[in-house]
Structure 1
Amino acid sequence: MTAGLRALRRRILTPALSSTSLEVRGFRKKNPTAQELLETVGRSFLEGYGRIVEAPDSQAAEPRLEAIPREFRGFAYEGAAMACSIMDALPGSGGRRLSGLLAGRGGAHTYMAYVGIGWAMARLPRMLHPDTEDTDPLLRWLILDGYGFHQAYFHTDRYVRGQHRERKLPWPEDQASYAHRAVDQGIGRALWFVGGTDVDAVLALVDAFPPARRGDLFSGVGLAATYAGGAGADELLRLREGVGAYRPQLLQGSAFAAEAREHAGLTVPHTHLATEVLCGMKPHEAAGVCREQRPGASDRVDMPAYETWRQGIAGALVSEGRS
């Protein structure tokens, strides 16, 4: 395929840039700075997506993905993984773009890449869903996290304001008992965007959900507040105090975001601010808790290793008494 045809393919397959506008989405606009941040996140995601679509293969897209500013590069790889998953599902594709991405520089962004697979899952017919059998058994729940984020971001009235919960998820039925919780973790991340990084608005959004769902939602909020940023120290302190009994889950999400950024070498000033206010730790310390608590790859239907990991992180953060 010629460069011209690949460019045309990008224009056809890449979502419209306007889809990332807070105005279009109907999300809260706290102030121009927060709005610009969140919209840049969206543009970076689409940039990563588009670079894969127009490239002959994943490796060819790497230089341009790596050129994206560090603060937003993880989001670009998230979009790239979504594009790889969609391209792999197309007839005659060979199905090797995602594996190529993860085998290269994208391997440092596995957390974000798995979330991107979930975005593709939300867009593709079920018969074309990505095969998750070869993904990491511990981390593959992040795919559902990405699915939940997508649904809340693009179908906000139904999934956020209506607190909709799907009866049947695109996931093996024998793991359905935890699948809804993983989706809620992604919805929680999206609430940080829906609320425009306004802590009071985000707290109100979570409080509208049934109490049984709030722990997972606040985990997602903590992750987004730390990974994406957008809140100052006073706001983060208000968030930490405002979650009440769900503080362990908030801290777990924050530490997990620190691990994702540290693992990829993308730690930025707002990562430091968030982990220090929320967890009472520097990013590398919070990431260290995640690594220390990481269990083996075994997975159980009643309590996935992923949930064991999350609980271990939350417990360790609280027991250290620095938060």
Structure 2
Amino acid sequence: MARTVRSLRRTLLAPELAEVSFARRGFPPLPADSPAARLQDVPRAVVCGFEWAIEARGIEEITQRLDLLDPEQRGFGYEGATMALTVLDAMGRGHRTRDLLEGPGRPHILLAYIGIGFAMARLPRVLWGRVLPDLTGQPLHPVMSWLAVDGYGFDLAYFHTRRWVDEQRVPASHPWQGAPDYFPRAVDQGIGRALWFIHGARPERVDAAIRAFAGHRQADLWSGAGLACVFAGGCGADTFADLRRLAGRHAPELAQGAVFAARARELAGYVPQHTAVATRALTGLSVEAAVALADDSAPPGTGPGPVPAYEHWRRAIRAHFRPEVAARR
């Protein structure tokens, strides 16, 4: 009976592999031999992680399956697995997500938060209070839990592109971490990340898509695009350089997203070549220097207030890339 219920949840809540392909989503076509074509491996790894976790008998079985993924894609598998366990926990008040993230999923915690956001996109808002596990003691919790809202925004843009990208709809707010006014900004960061995939790692199309949004939203969109391209790749050094040029006055936001992506890759224990190339192109820093900047800029606490510690962290990183600051270095 339990397995039947899980199979039903999988059918209702997870897209099939074919549904996440760029062609099925209606995104611009990509040549099969293009580096950007590999971006489709990302949502496929997420779906695999979800399906494996929703059917697994325990954390060990989930981990054994995720270990079959290439190291470059494994974090995305943990996104999907976290999504599945979040759904199970929210619907049944379990602690599977906490067990995963306090154990083998700990190095992938930043992507796991995004997986929680994928679950939020499929759960009624009344259950959102149950989705974030108690990870007290982990250094990035709960500051980086805003990546769950980022994941929610990515999901909206990827699966409902006309509404959230073409029409630039504004999501309803929610008191995440006691900062409801910041919620739409974190959603925009996820939408910006999705634009890198929707437009197949083509900077000029990403730029045009961002320019269609209201001016006050564009900085967060650029930040999301920076995180996506550094973590997922899809092009070469010249294309990354084009993206930085097109970002213009939002280059510090682009660089901030890049720094977060470099931090996430280093934390997970595997830094692909494209991450090193993109980090250098967007920030002028090595991965090691970007990680040091992220750590040195981290806020001292998570105190209450309308501006969350997560945003204070982002501001501190962006400040490093402001022209007046860079000129003094």
Cα distance in 2 between the residues matched to 1:178 and 1:11: 31
Task: Please show how residues 137-176 of structure 1 align to structure 2 within 5 Å.
Answer: 137-166=142-171, 168-172=172-176, 174-176=178-180
Structure-2-length-normalised TM-score: 0.90
Cα distance in 2 between the residues matched to 1:76 and 1:10: 18
Instruction: State the Cα distance separating 1:316 from its structure 2 match.
Output: 1.9
Cα distance in 2 between the residues matched to 1:282 and 1:257: 12
Contact 1:48–1:79 under 8 Å retained in 2:
yes
Instruction: State the Cα distance separating 1:298 from its structure 2 match.
Output: 1.7
Cα distance in 1 between the residues matched to 2:241 and 2:114: 27
Match of 1:112 in 2: 111
Q: 1:276 to 1:89 in 2, by over 3 A?
A: same
Task: Please show how residues 1-323 of structure 1 align to structure 2 within 5 Å.
Answer: 8=7, 12=11, 14-32=14-32, 33-91=34-92, 94-129=93-128, 130-132=130-132, 134=134, 136-166=141-171, 168-172=172-176, 174-318=178-322, 319-320=325-326
Q: Give the aligned residue type for 1:292.
A: D
SS at match of 2:105: helix
Cα distance in 2 between the residues matched to 1:71 and 1:257: 13
Q: 1:16 to 1:250 in 2, by over 3 A?
A: same
Structure-1-length-normalised TM-score: 0.92
Instruction: State the Cα distance separating 1:100 from its structure 2 match.
Output: 1.0
Cα distance in 2 between the residues matched to 1:279 and 1:173: 30
Q: 1:270 to 1:10 in 2, by over 3 A?
A: farther
Instruction: State the Cα distance separating 1:174 from its structure 2 match.
Output: 5.0
Q: 1:88 to 1:112 in 2, by over 3 A?
A: same
Contact 1:45–1:76 under 8 Å retained in 2:
yes
Instruction: State the Cα distance separating 1:31 from its structure 2 match.
Output: 2.8
% identical aligned pairs: 41
Instruction: State the Cα distance separating 1:59 from its structure 2 match.
Output: 2.9
Q: Is there any run of 5+ residues in structure 1 with no aligned partner, and where?
A: none
Contact 2:97–2:133 under 8 Å retained in 1:
no
Q: Give the aligned residue type for 1:107.
A: R
Q: 1:244 to 1:200 in 2, by over 3 A?
A: same
SS at match of 1:90: helix
Name segments (4+ residues, structure 1) moved above 6 Å: none
Q: Considering only aligned residues, what root-mean-square deviation do their CA atoms show, in Å?
A: 2.3
Cα distance in 1 between the residues matched to 2:10 and 2:193: 28
Instruction: State the Cα distance separating 1:8 from its structure 2 match.
Output: 4.9
| Worse overlay, 206-215 or 22-31 | 22-31
Cα distance in 2 between the residues matched to 1:152 and 1:195: 12
Cα distance in 2 between the residues matched to 1:171 and 1:303: 12
Instruction: Summarize deviations over 1:16-57 as a string: whole Å, max 9, x none.
Output: 111211111111234323453121111111111111111112
